[in-house]
Chains A and B, each alone.
Chain A
Amino acid sequence: MNNATYSSLLELAAGLVILCAFVTLWRRSLSAIVRALCVQGVALGLVALVLGLHRRDVVLITVGCLVIAAKGAVIPTLLRRVLANDSLNRETSPLVNVPASLVGAGALTFLAYGATRSVVALVPTSAGRLIPLGLATLLIGFFSMVIRRKAASQIVGLLLVDNGIALVAFLATAGVPLLVELGASLDVLLVVVVLRVLAVQLWSKFAVLDLDQLQELHD
């Protein structure tokens, strides 16, 4: 793989990651959001894969394959099971409407570019230039956790945050040690399982998956 192909492939994959993050804010249907998340996971794996191929790093290639398997297949499947419980499969009334949230996400992306200037200067490679995208994905994930009401949306937001962190890690370092990467991924998997249980409990108690109902627990 020559240098030009490498950098354009990398840009394509990383761009796909941030595009999917925007899609999760744009779409209201939860199944569409999960699909976007699935694509994002695959794109993230591709980033690792391209980096690994470029550096001829077997470990990084393995990590890329594992990421594609976990974030492209396992986690979306788990999420779809949560959604099967909810009859109204739409994010009907987010706290901030879609156009405004897209504007907010754009602003957060600007912030990410501004905040990572010094980091980018430290890593003067084609991979390093893409670091702001990782931070932007993280911020958008956080933002979507704030503005969405459904429990499933919260899980999606958390996964976006995790994907953003992973993207920064892939791009900024010459590959995180396999053990660390696996640990982080397992962590997220565990969180998804916990949230799924929480969602099921919420469903059986309140018959909705709306997190605002938890306010009832406030004393």
Chain B
Amino acid sequence: MNHVSIWMTALAGLMAAIVGGTLPVRSRVGAAVLLTWVSCSAALVAVVSVLHSGHAIAMSTTKILPFTGISLELTPLGAVFVLAIVVVALASTLYWLGYASHGLSTRCASSALPLFVTSMILVPFAASVATFLVLWELMALASLVLVLTDQSRREAARSAAQWYAVMTHAGAAAILLALILLSAHAGGQTFAQIEAHSHHLSGALRGTIFVLALLGFASKAGAVPLHVWLPKAHAEAPGPASALMSGAMVNLGIYGIILVGNVLLGGGPVWWWLLVSALGVLSALYGALYAATTSDLKRLLAYSTADNMGLVLIALGTAGMFAASGSHVTAAIAMVAALLLMFNHSLFKGALFLAAGAVQIATGTRDLDRLGGLLRRMPVTGVVFLIGALSVAALPPLNGFVGEWLLLQSLLHALPSANTAVVITVAVAVAALALTGGLTVAAFVKAMGIGFLGRPRSEEASKAHEVPATMQLGAGLLAISCLALGLVPMLILPALMRGARSARPVGPVAAVHGWISLHLFGFHGVLAPSLLAGGLVVALAATVLARRVSHRRSSPWPALTPAEPWGSGRRTQTARMQYTATSFAEPLQRVFDDVIRPARDLDVSPAAESHYYVERIAYQTSSDDVIERVIYQPLIAAVRRWGGLARKLQNGSVHRYLAFGLLALVIVLVVLA
């Protein structure tokens, strides 16, 4: 039965890719989506069986991949990640049904999307180095194709795909090196063999392997400073693909770090996890800062992904540090927090990217400065975005809040720990968490307020219409799950605890318990999300009621003439006079001027008659990624110089090329002789 579910997952996914690439355009997307759902349901069966029993299911065959064979195994840890991917995949493929007519129904795209989903689902199944690498690469290539689908219309998609291709392959090279080192020294390429032998390796080798794997996987997770591809590729990918990339694919970077660090190497010294936490703090702050200052809706979401992955990395690093210094109870809580943050991020970021895709379709732009007033024109999409925004800002009663609460609890309960480095890191992490939280709220107040409230700032925004029902349903599904998990986190927490236990063999079974109110295991810490939500609703209702009652009493002031709010006495105001995303972010940009160093360009052209009369003011600000500018551009320039040197060898003469060939042949012969 279990084998059947694994086979079904792979075969149905493959069939979906084939069907998507061959059927005529009318039936192609529908058939591909249907088969993808079959694949997802089969995976779901496997996940439920693993999480219910707590035992892994496995299968292997030598018939598919020569020399090494395929071996697949679903552990409870993998099942948690598969679950997150399947949920996002179900919603995004449903959404795809409506989105397809906007350039996502070509053979190439309808074949690549199911392939992408299936390879992502199967990555956590992989139980040997060869299987893992094949699936990992398949996932990267399928997503690369999806980033390129819009390339004929958008120049930026091509450059984004280039960045993505280079970064993902550099990361894959690091991962390849780490896994090959590991399997060469552990004497086998299946994960079971490696796990059994890895503790015999020397400390330096284990450290090298971990750092290499961390670099590779962190670049997939979008950790700063390896994040540069993220705001480009996630922004340029079409709606469902960007939701899958940002909601599901980045998780696999986290999975990889847990897999190598905790499972294959069986945990490590404190400095590994300090490194992970440091990456996390950097990503969280940097991502949140750029999310707050950018005015491109999807770029904002992508930077927020880097921010959220930073939080997950902080939790992961904390868990590792606690485990290394012997406090297993706190380690378990931090691990569960990491998985919960990851899971929540999948839900709300999926919803947000699907909503952003809907906005892009309805208005043709992602620039917040040209949007506005969309909540009235696209009510469902607007509400989905609102729920997602509240969730990402970690406000109760949504799921983001529970995750961050758990993370803070694990950090705060660690303070009396012995190790000085741990204490300092934890203190820094708490401070970073606070700053990140504030910046994230600012970013999403901007996205919601400028994009969906107010008046439309452009013709396109004023003509926006709600998207088809399938798209609303797909995005709505994720938003509803955000709400449900926010109210009753125990729906998912037992599964996450099972997963966390298989990632860290030592430690207690439970980190939290209690259905209505969450209790931390072994510490004093209580949270009752549903009661909190109830309280919030009651308070809100009371405020509204009180206002109504007070308004009904006769007002002490005389009747006022209605005027435009914030009009400064002007009679006529245009929508362009509203607060924009750029102006909203301007104060923040000023505060963090030394970090961002934006290029500002103020161009005042006075009237011909007098300098005192200004005819036109043009203000331009561009805050391109400072890490890209400082680290990557010089690197690219250096590579280009090297390329220039190689170019000098090529003058277009056929004889010269032939001579090179002959010379190489002669040298080989001389060396061999």
Q: Would you call A215 and B673 a contact (CB within 8 A)? A: no
Q: Would you call A117 and B673 a contact (CB within 8 A)? A: yes
Q: Does A22 contact B (CB under 8 A)?
A: no
Chain A residues lying within 8 Å of B551, measured Cβ to Cβ, are none
Q: Would you call A146 and B659 a contact (CB within 8 A)? A: yes
Q: Would you call B661 and A111 a contact (CB within 8 A)? A: no
Alpha-carbon distance A212/B662, docked complex (angstroms): 18
Chain A residues lying within 8 Å of B650, measured Cβ to Cβ, are 218
Q: Would you call B669 and A111 a contact (CB within 8 A)? A: yes
Alpha-carbon distance A115/B669, docked complex (angstroms): 6
Q: Would you call B652 and A114 a contact (CB within 8 A)? A: no
Q: Does A121 contact B (CB under 8 A)?
A: no
Q: Would you call B673 and A214 a contact (CB within 8 A)? A: no
Residue of B nearest to A149 (CB): B655
Alpha-carbon distance A216/B659, docked complex (angstroms): 19
Alpha-carbon distance A117/B661, docked complex (angstroms): 23
Q: Does A10 contact B (CB under 8 A)?
A: no
Q: Tell me the count of chain A residues lying within 8 A, CB to CB, of chain B.
A: 22
Q: Tell me the count of chain B residues lying within 8 A, CB to CB, of chain A.
A: 16
Q: Would you call A139 and B658 a contact (CB within 8 A)? A: no
> Are A142 and B662 CB-contacts (below 8 A) given A111-B670, A114-B673, A115-B670?
yes
Query: Which positions 46-92 of chain B face chain A at CB distance < 8 Å?
Result: none
Chain B residues lying within 8 Å of A211, measured Cβ to Cβ, are 654-655
Alpha-carbon distance A115/B653, docked complex (angstroms): 29
Q: Would you call B672 and A115 a contact (CB within 8 A)? A: yes
Q: Does B651 contact A (CB under 8 A)?
A: yes
Render B631-673 as a binary contact track against A, CB cut-off 8 A, 1 for contact.
Answer: 0000000000000000000111111001101100110011011
Q: Would you call A214 and B659 a contact (CB within 8 A)? A: no
Chain A residues lying within 8 Å of B655, measured Cβ to Cβ, are 95, 145-147, 149, 211-212
Q: Does A180 contact B (CB under 8 A)?
A: no
Chain A residues lying within 8 Å of B672, measured Cβ to Cβ, are 115
> Are A214 and B669 CB-contacts (below 8 A) given A143-B662, A146-B659, A146-B662?
no
Alpha-carbon distance A215/B654, docked complex (angstroms): 8
Q: Would you call A142 and B673 a contact (CB within 8 A)? A: no
B660: shortest Cβ distance to chain A, in Å?
9
Q: Would you call A215 and B658 a contact (CB within 8 A)? A: no
Chain A residues lying within 8 Å of B662, measured Cβ to Cβ, are 139, 142-143, 145-146
Query: Which among A95, A111, A214, A215 is the interface contact of B666 at CB below 8 angstroms?
Result: A111
Alpha-carbon distance A33/B199, docked complex (angstroms): 70
Alpha-carbon distance A47/B579, docked complex (angstroms): 89
Residue of B nearest to A141 (CB): B662
Query: Which positions 160-181 of chain A face chain B at CB distance < 8 Å?
Result: none
Q: Would you call A218 and B658 a contact (CB within 8 A)? A: no
Q: Would you call A142 and B652 a contact (CB within 8 A)? A: no
Q: Does A217 contact B (CB under 8 A)?
A: yes
Chain B residues lying within 8 Å of A212, measured Cβ to Cβ, are 653-655
B316: shortest Cβ distance to chain A, in Å?
50
Residue of B nearest to A219 (CB): B652
A102: shortest Cβ distance to chain B, in Å?
16
A161: shortest Cβ distance to chain B, in Å?
10
Query: Which positions 172-213 of chain A face chain B at CB distance < 8 Å?
Result: 211-212
Chain B residues lying within 8 Å of A112, measured Cβ to Cβ, are 669
Chain B residues lying within 8 Å of A145, measured Cβ to Cβ, are 655, 658, 662
Query: Which among A95, A139, A149, A215 is the interface contact of B665 at CB below 8 angstroms?
Result: A139
A113: shortest Cβ distance to chain B, in Å?
9
Alpha-carbon distance A108/B670, docked complex (angstroms): 11
Q: Would you call B661 and A142 a contact (CB within 8 A)? A: yes
Q: Would you call B670 and A214 a contact (CB within 8 A)? A: no
Q: Would you call A218 and B651 a contact (CB within 8 A)? A: yes
Alpha-carbon distance A212/B669, docked complex (angstroms): 29
Alpha-carbon distance A19/B652, docked complex (angstroms): 33
Residue of A nearest to B660 (CB): A146
A218: shortest Cβ distance to chain B, in Å?
3
B663: shortest Cβ distance to chain A, in Å?
9
Alpha-carbon distance A72/B226, docked complex (angstroms): 63
B220: shortest Cβ distance to chain A, in Å?
37
B: residues with CB less than 8 A from A are: 650-655, 658-659, 661-662, 665-666, 669-670, 672-673
A: residues with CB less than 8 A from B are: 95, 108, 111-112, 114-115, 117, 139, 142-143, 145-147, 149, 154, 211-212, 214-218
If A108-B666, A139-B662, A212-B653 are given as contacts, then 4 extra A-B residue pairs at C-beta distance below 8 Å, sorted by A number, are A111-B666, A115-B669, A218-B650, A218-B651
Residue contacts A-B, CB under 8 angstroms, 26 given: A111-B670, A111-B673, A114-B669, A114-B673, A115-B669, A115-B670, A115-B673, A117-B673, A139-B662, A139-B666, A142-B658, A142-B661, A142-B665, A143-B662, A145-B655, A145-B662, A146-B659, A146-B662, A149-B655, A154-B654, A211-B654, A211-B655, A212-B654, A212-B655, A214-B653, A218-B652
- 10 shortest interchain CB distances as A-B pairs: A218-B652, A115-B669, A115-B673, A215-B652, A114-B673, A146-B658, A146-B659, A142-B662, A211-B654, A145-B658
